[in-house]
Structure 1
Amino acid sequence: MKAMILAAGKGERLRPLTLHTPKPLVRAAGVPLIEYHLRALAAAGFSELVINHAWLGQQIEDYLGDGSRFGVSIAYSAEAEPLETGGGIFKALPLLGDQPFALINGDIFTDYPFAELRRPLAGLAHLVLVANPGHHAGGDFCLRDGQVSDAQVTQESLTYSGMAVLSPALFASCQPGAFKLAPLLRAAMAAGQVSGEAFSGCWVDVGTHERLAEVERLLEARS
C-alpha cells in the first residue's frame, strides 16, 4: 500500500514561521513535522510515499530528497496553485495507482500506529476519528458500529483526524481543479461506503503557535 502526505498548505496561522518555511518543515523539538510522519510510516512498512506541495514546495523536496535516508521512496506532486485537499489528491492519483492508499495530513502530530491503515478497504474510505478538540468542539462525523455518517445535532460527534484510507474510486466523478474532500466523503457516507474507527491516543492538529508549543511539551515529556 502506498501513502500520501498532504503538504500543500500555507500555514498562515503559523506566521511568521511559515513566511519562509513551508508548514511541513516547521520544527518541533528540532525535527520537521513531516519527518515524524516519514519515520513512522517507514516503521509501519510503507515504502512508497507521495507528497503534494505548493507553497515553498521546493524546500520540501530539497530536504526530503528521494526519501532513501528515511527508508522510503518519495514521489512528489507539485501544485502551481493549491488545489485544496480533494483536488490535490485527484492530481496525485496517477502516482498513487489504482489500489487503496493511506492518507495523512502533513500538519498533524500523532502516535497513531500507521500499520493499522494497512488493511483491506470494504467501501470507498476508512476514517480515523478523534475526540473533538477545543478548537473544533462541533466535530465532523458520527461513528456507529464501525460506519461513519454525517454528524447530526442530536448525535455525539467526533473529529476527522486527517488520517484515512481512500479508494481511488472515491474520485471517479471528479475533474481537475481545486475542490474539497469532505463533500466526496459525505456522498460516500450517504451510500454506506465509509467505515471508521475512534483513536484515543496522542493527536494534535498543529495549526497554531499554541498547538505547536503543545507538541514541543509532549516531545519534551517523552525525552
Structure 2
Amino acid sequence: MKAMIFAAGRGERMRPLTDTCPKPLLKVRGRPLIVWHVLNLVRAGITEIVINHAHLGHMIEEELGDGSKYGAQIAYSHEETALETAGGIANAMHLLGDEPFVAVSGDIYCPYFDFEQVEDVLHDKDMWGNPYPADKRDVCWLYLTPNPWHNPEGDFALNMYSVSNEGTPKWNFANIGVYRPEMFAAIKPGEKVRIGGLMREYADRGQVGGEVYEGEWVNVGTVAQLDELNAPLAKKAKA
C-alpha cells in the first residue's frame, strides 16, 4: 500500500509562522508535523509515500529529500496553486497507482495512530468469499474522532462501521482515510476539488465505511494550539 500526505495548504490561520515555513514543517514536540506521519507510516511498513505541495514546497523537499533517511521512498506532486484534497489526489494519481491508498493531512498531530490497521479495511469480498458488486463495495474508509472544539457539530454518523450523512451522534472526520482510485476518476489533473463532497456522495450510496479513533489527535490550526502542544517541552527546557 502507498500513502499520500497532504502538504499543499497555505496555513492562513498560522500566519505569520507560515509566511516563511510551510505548515507541515512546523515543529510539535521537537519534530515537524509531517515527519511524525512519515515515521509512523514507515513503522507500519508503508514506505512508498507521495507528498503534494504548493506554498514553499521546496522547503518540504529540502527537509525530507527522497525519504531514505527515514526508510521511505518519497515522491512529490507539485501544484502551482493548491488543488484541495480531492484535486491533489487526482493530480498525483500517476504516482499513487491502481490500488487503494491511505491519505493523511500533513497538519494534524496524531503521534500514536497505528497505520498497520489501514491495510485491510477495504474488502472486495464478503465474509463468505463472494465478490462484492462494484456498486456495493466501500470506496473509502474514514477515521473519525470525538468532536473537537472547532467542529462541535461533527461531520458524519456511524452505524456498525457504516458512515452516513444523517443520524446522531455525529463524529469529526480525522483527515485520515483509505481510498480507492476509482473515487477520483472523474476529476481532471489540475482541477481544484475538495474531498468532502465526494465522501458525502458515496455515503449516500452506502459505500463509505469507517471507525472511531480515540487516541491523541489535534488538527493544528492556530498558533495557540501549536504553543499548547509544545508547552510541556518548553517547561522541561526551563527546568
CA distance in 2, matches of 1:174, 1:132: 30
Task: Tell me the residue number matched to 2:156.
Answer: 141
Gapped regions of structure 1 (runs ≥ 5): none
Counterpart AA for 1:71: G
If the length of structure 1 is used for normalisation, what is the TM-score? 0.94
How far apart, CA to CA, are the structure 2 residues paired with 1:17 and 1:145?
A: 42
How far the C-alpha of 1:120 sits from its partner, in A, is 4.2
Q: 1:18 — aligned with what? A: 18
Distance verdict in 2 for CA 1:105–1:221, change over 3 Å:
farther
Structure 2 residue 185 is matched with structure 1 residue 184: no
> Which position in structure 1 is the counterpart of 2:71?
71
Q: 2:229 aligned to 210, 215, 222, which one?
A: 215
Structure 1 residues 175 and 141: CA distance shift in structure 2, 3 A: same
SS in 1 for 2:17: coil
Partner of 1:166: 179
Q: 1:60 to 1:157 in 2, by over 3 A?
A: same
Structure ID, larger Rg: 2
Letter in 2 for 1:168: P
Normalised to the residue count of structure 2, the TM-score between the two structures is 0.88
Structure 1 residue 136: deviation in Å? 0.7
Distance 1:59 1:77 in 2: 14
Aligned equivalents of 1:74, 1:15: Cα separation in 2: 27
Question: What runs of 5+ residues in structure 2 fail to find an aligned partner?
Answer: 124-137
**Aligned partners of 2:34 and 2:106 also within 8 Å:** yes
Q: Percent identity?
A: 45
Could you tell me which of 185, 188, 196 is aligned with 2:210?
A: 196
Structure 1 Cα separation of the partners of residues 170 and 216 of structure 2? 19
Task: Give SS of 2:158's match.
Answer: strand
Q: Distance in 1 between matches of 2:91 and 2:10?
A: 18
* Partner of residue 140, structure 2: 125
Quote the offset at 1:119 in angstroms: 1.4
Asked whether the equivalents of residues 109 and 215 of structure 1 are also in contact (C-alpha less than 8 Å), the reply is no
Residue 192 of structure 1 and its aligned partner are, at CA, apart by: 1.0
